[in-house]
Amino acid sequence: MRAASRKGASWRKEEAGVFSPDGGIVDVPKMDEGESPALLLPLADDFHVHLRQDAMMKAVTPAVIHGGSDRVVVMPNTIPPIRTCAEAADYRAKLQAIDPRVDYRMTLYLGQEVSADDLRANADESGVRGVKSYPRGVTTNSEAGIESYTTYYPLFSEMEKMGLTLHIHGEVPGVSVLTAEASFLPQLEELHRAFPSLKIVLEHVSTAAAVLLVRRLGPTVGATVTAHHLDLTIDEVVGCSHNFCKPVAKMREDREAIRQVVMDEGHPRFFLGSDSAPHPRHKKEIGMKAAAGCFTSPFLLAYLADTFVWGSSRYTDDDTTVTKRLPDFVGRFGAEFFGVPVKRYEEGKPAVELRKRAFTVPSVWGESILGSEGAVVPFRSGDVLRYESRLVGL
Ligand SMILES: [Zn+2]
């Protein structure tokens, strides 16, 4: 097996690349005039996605594999929320009926109805791998969220024994959106201290303070990072409801801290979780109270490659960040954190081909199912990305 395969990714024009002993690519293939090399990756892991219900579910579930992922953590904030393993199994069956190629890792919505007995008896069979906590009223469908963690300490203790993960939306309610995540961090630290062996994921990190804390905490604490938090600052959110999500993108120094830990350093406890959160256009393009969420699923790897090209400060050759850092971020670190097999690129097997070629993000997704007003406007709609992603071998 060639070094390229050990890495989990391969340049199609492999002879042009030189691979270091640790599997990293140290020399990047030249971009021949009129011909661009393609980076081939196994299908990615997206460890945080919202697949909704009914017609919206039918429209956005196929976007997962279209965007380059085939293993996802599914969020439970449906209406009503997913509280039991039976409900999760039912939801998973609906998703599998839409696209059976994707591995759906299910979560329950933390609340009084979530029972350790249910998890112990049924989690494996129903595909439930964790529990998601939403502070009350902070984001979409979080009205049923929790107010205090100590009530759930007995459940967390059982989850710790069962090896289930606690996924946390880390914002406190009732404060400014700009300080809600930073204000939450002492609670994360306290939880980790109380349950040092419990796997905890701080979802969609958006601040330098959160990056610092996750780094400082032990090996059981990880963080998902979205494509949009690598791309945006608050300046691009103001005035554009399609860039509005919770937690909101923060200041330039916050984005730099996220980019540094993902793109420059490649820290193994920071991995992809897109938080792709579709809303119908009529709930985004309104004057007041636009819904929170960026829809990134259908072009996820293309967005990431584009941002990795110019987001890193460490590498002078832009594309080096894509080749050196992207494969582990989307395919290795999260899998290792959750203890699931790391997928490898194999010739002829399903893969994602990332080619350096201008790609214009379409203006809408799901129109044939959802109609014009109900369709979803993808993140960066109308922008020209520097990479195009394409599925091969499927
Ligand atoms: Zn989310």
277-323 residue pLDDT tens: 999 999 999 988 999 999 999 999 999 999 998 777 665 556 778 88
Q: What's the 193 CA to ligand 1 centre distance in angstroms? A: 25
| In-domain check, residue 389 | no
Q: What's the 38 CA to ligand 1 centre distance in angstroms? A: 31
Q: What's the 75 CA to ligand 1 centre distance in angstroms? A: 7
Whole domain around residue 124: which residue ranges?
42-347
Q: What's the 275 CA to ligand 1 centre distance in angstroms? A: 4
Q: What's the 137 CA to ligand 1 centre distance in angstroms? A: 13
Q: What's the 132 CA to ligand 1 centre distance in angstroms? A: 10
| In-domain check, residue 201 | yes
Q: What's the 135 CA to ligand 1 centre distance in angstroms? A: 12
Cα–Cα distance between 328 and 342 in angstroms, integer?
10
Looking at residue 391, what is its pLDDT? Answer: 95
8-54 confidence digits (pLDDT tens): 455 443 333 333 334 443 333 333 334 567 889 999 999 999 999 99
* Residue 366 in tokens: 């799901």
The total number of structural domains in the chain stands at: 1
Looking at residue 137, what is its pLDDT? Answer: 64
| In-domain check, residue 237 | yes
Q: What's the 50 CA to ligand 1 centre distance in angstroms? A: 6
Looking at residue 296, what is its pLDDT? Answer: 98
CA angle 161–165–170, rounded 5-degree value: 130
Q: Strands 384-392, 18-19: parallel, antiparallel or unpaired by DSSP?
A: unpaired
| In-domain check, residue 54 | yes
What's the whole-model pTM score?
0.90
Q: What's the 277 CA to ligand 1 centre distance in angstroms? A: 7
CA distances from 339 to 47, 89, 285, 334 (A): 13, 21, 40, 8
Q: What's the 247 CA to ligand 1 centre distance in angstroms? A: 9
Q: What's the 12 CA to ligand 1 centre distance in angstroms? A: 34
Q: What's the 5 CA to ligand 1 centre distance in angstroms? A: 32
Q: What's the 341 CA to ligand 1 centre distance in angstroms? A: 24
Q: What's the 159 CA to ligand 1 centre distance in angstroms? A: 21
* Residue whose tokens read 């696209």: 99
Q: What's the 166 CA to ligand 1 centre distance in angstroms? A: 14
Q: What's the 48 CA to ligand 1 centre distance in angstroms? A: 6
| In-domain check, residue 58 | yes
Q: What's the 49 CA to ligand 1 centre distance in angstroms? A: 6
Q: What's the 14 CA to ligand 1 centre distance in angstroms? A: 37
* Residue 24 in tokens: 């990293």
Q: What's the 74 CA to ligand 1 centre distance in angstroms? A: 9
Cα–Cα distance between 271 and 230 in angstroms, integer?
12
Provide the H-helix boundaries in the chain.
3-7, 54-60, 62-66, 85-98, 116-126, 153-162, 180-194, 208-216, 227-231, 234-237, 252-259, 281-284, 300-311, 318-331, 333-338, 367-374
* Residue 132 in tokens: 């998601």
| In-domain check, residue 182 | yes
Q: What's the 26 CA to ligand 1 centre distance in angstroms? A: 35
Q: What's the 168 CA to ligand 1 centre distance in angstroms? A: 10
Q: What's the 156 CA to ligand 1 centre distance in angstroms? A: 21
* Positions in the chain whose pLDDT score sits under 50: 1-8, 11-34
Q: What's the 64 CA to ligand 1 centre distance in angstroms? A: 15
| In-domain check, residue 118 | yes
Query: For residue 203, what is the domain's CATH number?
Result: 3.20.20.140
| In-domain check, residue 357 | no
